[in-house]
Amino acid sequence: DIQMTQSPSSLSASVGDRVTITCRASQAFGNWLAWYQQKPGGAPKSLIYGTSTLESGVPSRFSGSASGTDFSLTINNLQPEDFATYYCQQYNSFPPTFGGGTKVEIK
């Protein structure tokens, strides 16, 4: 199985900040990586697929990138509604696996 190591597990930031969350894969694969946002009590919401393609309706302040086995989610100009937990997921190979999550909290 491909292990996805996500970091940091939590971070504190202010409105307007830029934050970056990273997922490191245990082995190299293509671009089949997604990012999800989950708010307390809510369903996960898909943000990005294919490493860098934004889902319809997702603000352009969200972006995804990759470098080798490291995948990143960047949020520019952090907004109050962005405080949530974020998960990466690889769907390159079976079984699909998720990162442990990153909780973005208000500083």
Partner 1 sequence: EVQLLESGGDLIQPGPGGSLRLSCAASGFTFSTYAMTWVRQAPGKGLEWVSTISSSGDRTYYADSVKGRFTISRDNSKNTLYLQMSSLRVEDTALYHCAKDWLGSGAPIYYMDVWGKGTTVTVSS
Q: In the complex with partner 1, which residue's Cβ is closer, 35 or 72?
A: 35
Nearest approach, Cβ of residue 16 and partner 1 (Å): 28
Nearest approach, Cβ of residue 62 and partner 1 (Å): 15
Nearest approach, Cβ of residue 89 and partner 1 (Å): 7
Query: The tokens of 93 are what?
Result: 């190979």
Catalogue the E-assigned strands of the chain.
4-7, 10-13, 19-25, 33-38, 45-49, 53-54, 62-67, 70-75, 85-90, 97-98, 102-106
Q: In the complex with partner 1, which residue's Cβ is closer, 18 or 100?
A: 100
- Closest of 101, 75, 87, 93 to residue 32, by C-alpha: 93
Q: In the complex with partner 1, which residue's Cβ is closer, 46 or 76?
A: 46
Positions touching partner 1 (CB under 8 A) are 32, 34, 36, 41-46, 49, 55, 87, 89, 91, 94-101
Q: In the complex with partner 1, which residue's Cβ is closer, 17 or 55?
A: 55
- Closest of 100, 48, 44, 107 to residue 75, by C-alpha: 48
Pairing of strands 85-90, 97-98: antiparallel
Nearest approach, Cβ of residue 107 and partner 1 (Å): 22
